[in-house]
């Protein structure tokens, strides 16, 4: 008897412990081979993915403390929003259907001057985090003010953030001068550079909203601490006009002239770029964030997405701030990225569904120079993943999971959101934020915003 039992246990080695297993869904790995497991399972231990395989293999290898049944759902890497201004959810729908300058000068700048404060950004970030968790975003890249308060609210919500303290020429709520902003950014970097969820960054606003010295100093600060450098680039035709008049160069070439670009830089928008600019960005390993919805709403233009992809520029997807979108749903951004590219090039094969999913996952991770940690479901990466329901009428029938993610799925279809191995939402039940409290606080604060623009 004893010998037989010993023989049996030798054949079946003890199962390894795992903190969490997500099993039974269609697993879209987004690995290099774009492997899809039908069905599959993901084993997580602590913050890391330890295995991705079939449900049977994972069940045989691991004994999980918590198991999430994802049958009928798609399990995929968490979405990466490469460009937003999280607290601007507080200005959602405040003023629409205006030209960029009128919108900024009559509404957004006055509202910001009178309302932005540490408390404002905390309330706004909690609301943005709620929206992101509920719509499957697990990492976002941000540019705003009081970024240390945004960082604390982000960490409390359990999201991953690449958070850039904004540097801008004119006086703003958290800094009277660019030098003050840079000092703030340095303090912020020192406080958060070893955080497991927060990647502090420097975010000079744009080439037109800063002088050359401040742009160069921003880049130097980012290099000193090896943190990301984030900037708006060539968003509108006007920006290119200003750059050509003042510097006799495109915005990208002007920034290149004093060594701004480097491997951890992210350029948001990149709508009005020349072929030379695209090659320059590729040469400098700059990531680009494509924001189709914001670009359409403000009538900025259509970024040359197919050219970026052909040149091998790392391309991510962003929503931009909710004041110009008006939401943070990355499923909408994927769909609009596909539609806009087709319309702009008059080529229905432009940005197929797989390319849109790539931009929202591994492409965004690469653009942020974080592809060794996030962007795909692979062993040894961080456990950032979502499970998405596929049972709605509009998702029936399903012949192709990737097609459905881009063309019929909405953020509301996300059932479960996991970041760094921690379950932030399971079956639409939030674990880190109290929905009612977050929404009530935002509604209360909105009275102040309305007062500011009256
Ligand atoms: Zn922006």
Write the DSSP assignment of 112-163 as a string of letters. HHHH-SHHHHHHHHHHHHHHHHHTTEEEEEEEESSHHHHHHHHHHHT-EEEE
- Ligand 1 centroid–CA 232 distance in Å is 6
- Ligand 1 centroid–CA 347 distance in Å is 28
Residue written as token pair 């592809």: 371
Q: What is the mean pLDDT of the segment spanning 316-328?
A: 95
- Ligand 1 centroid–CA 85 distance in Å is 7
SS3 287: strand
Residues 345-377: pLDDT tens digits?
Answer: 999 999 999 999 999 999 999 999 999 999 999
Residue written as token pair 């985090």: 129
- Ligand 1 centroid–CA 415 distance in Å is 28
Question: What percent of the chain has pLDDT above 70?
Answer: 97
- Ligand 1 centroid–CA 201 distance in Å is 15
Task: Choose among 281, 294, 125: nearest CA to 198.
Answer: 125
Q: What is the mean pLDDT of the segment spanning 110-137?
A: 97
- Ligand 1 centroid–CA 231 distance in Å is 9
- Ligand 1 centroid–CA 70 distance in Å is 35
Q: Is the pLDDT of residue 21 over 50?
A: yes
What pLDDT, on the 0 to 100 scale, is given for residue 1? 45
Q: What is the mean pLDDT of the segment spanning 166-184?
A: 96
- Ligand 1 centroid–CA 240 distance in Å is 16
- Ligand 1 centroid–CA 270 distance in Å is 11
What pLDDT, on the 0 to 100 scale, is given for residue 129? 98
What pLDDT, on the 0 to 100 scale, is given for residue 109? 85
- Ligand 1 centroid–CA 195 distance in Å is 25
What pLDDT, on the 0 to 100 scale, is given for residue 12? 65
The whole-angstrom distance between residue 239's C-alpha and the CA centroid of its chain comes to: 24
DSSP letters along 178-223, please? HHHHHHHHHHHHHHHTT-SSEEEEEEE-BSSSS-HHHHHHHHHHHH
- Ligand 1 centroid–CA 168 distance in Å is 13
Q: Is the pLDDT of residue 10 over 80?
A: no
What pLDDT, on the 0 to 100 scale, is given for residue 102? 82
Q: Which of 3-7, 24-28, 29-33, 370-374 has the lowest mean pLDDT?
A: 3-7
Its pTM stands at 0.96
Q: What is the mean pLDDT of the segment spanning 34-54?
A: 98
CA torsion angle 392 397 401 404 (round to 10): -60
Task: State how far the alpha carbon of 17 is from the alpha carbons of 8, 39, 420, in Å.
Answer: 20, 22, 17
- Ligand 1 centroid–CA 374 distance in Å is 23
DSSP letters along 225-249, please? HT--EEEEES-SHHHHHHHHHHHSS
Q: Is the pLDDT of residue 54 over 70?
A: yes
C-alpha to C-alpha distance for 46 and 419, rounded to whole angstroms: 11
* End-to-end CA gap in the chain: 85
Q: What is the mean pLDDT of the segment spanning 109-118?
A: 92
C-alpha to C-alpha distance for 11 and 204, rounded to whole angstroms: 60
C-alpha to C-alpha distance for 184 and 420, rounded to whole angstroms: 28
Residue 324 or 189, more confident: 189
- Ligand 1 centroid–CA 209 distance in Å is 13
Q: Is the pLDDT of residue 11 over 70?
A: no
Q: Is the pLDDT of residue 8 over 80?
A: no
pLDDT band at 48 (very low <50, low <70, confident <90, very high): very high
- Ligand 1 centroid–CA 333 distance in Å is 14
């Amino acid at each position: 008897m004893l010998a037989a039992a010993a023989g049996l246990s030798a054949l079946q080695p003890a199962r390894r412990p795992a903190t969490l297993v997500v099993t039974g869904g269609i697993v879209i790995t987004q690995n290099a081979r774009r492997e899809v497991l039908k069905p599959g399972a993901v084993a997580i231990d602590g913050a890391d993915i330890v295995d991705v395989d079939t449900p049977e293999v994972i069940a045989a290898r691991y004994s999980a403390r918590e198991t999430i049944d994802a049958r009928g759902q798609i399990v995929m890497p968490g979405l990466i929003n490469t460009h937003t201004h999280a607290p601007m959810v507080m200005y959602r729908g405040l003023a629409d259907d205006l030209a960029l300058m009128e919108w900024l000068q009559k509404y957004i700048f006055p509202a910001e001057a009178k309302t932005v404060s540490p408390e404002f950004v905390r309330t706004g970030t909690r609301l943005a985090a709620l929206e992101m968790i509920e719509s499957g975003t697990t990492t976002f890249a941000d540019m705003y003010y009081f970024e240390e308060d945004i960082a604390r609210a982000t960490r409390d919500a359990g999201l991953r953030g690449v958070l850039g303290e904004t540097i801008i020429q004119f006086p703003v709520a958290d800094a009277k001068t660019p030098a003050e902003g840079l000092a703030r950014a340095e303090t912020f970097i020192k406080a958060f550079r070893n955080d497991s969820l927060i990647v502090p960054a420097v975010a000079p606003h744009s080439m037109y909203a800063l002088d050359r010295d401040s742009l160069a100093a921003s880049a130097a600060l980012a290099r000193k601490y090896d943190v990301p450098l984030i900037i708006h680039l060539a968003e509108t035709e006007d920006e290119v006009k200003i750059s050509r008049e003042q510097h006799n160069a495109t915005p990208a070439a002007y920034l290149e002239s004093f060594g701004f670009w480097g491997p951890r830089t992210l350029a948001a928008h990149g709508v009005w770029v020349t072929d030379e600019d695209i090659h320059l960005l590729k040469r400098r390993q700059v990531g680009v964030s494509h924001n189709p919805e914001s670009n359409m709403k403000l009538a900025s233009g259509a970024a040359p997405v197919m050219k970026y992809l052909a040149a091998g520029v790392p391309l991510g997807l962003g929503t931009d701030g909710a004041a110009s979108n008006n939401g943070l749903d990355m499923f909408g951004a994927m769909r609009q990225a596909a539609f806009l590219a087709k319309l702009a090039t008059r080529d229905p094969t432009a940005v197929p569904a797989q390319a849109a999913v790539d931009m929202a996952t591994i492409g965004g991770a690469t653009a942020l120079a974080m592809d060794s940690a996030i962007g795909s479901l692979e062993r040894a990466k961080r456990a950032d993943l979502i499970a998405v329901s596929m049972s709605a009428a509009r998702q029936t029938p399903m012949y192709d999971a990737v097609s459905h993610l881009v063309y019929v799925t909405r953020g509301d279809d996300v059932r479960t959101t996991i970041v760094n191995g921690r379950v932030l939402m399971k079956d639409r039940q939030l674990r880190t934020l109290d929905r009612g409290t977050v929404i009530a606080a935002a509604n209360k604060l909105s009275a102040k915003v309305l007062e500011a623009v009256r």
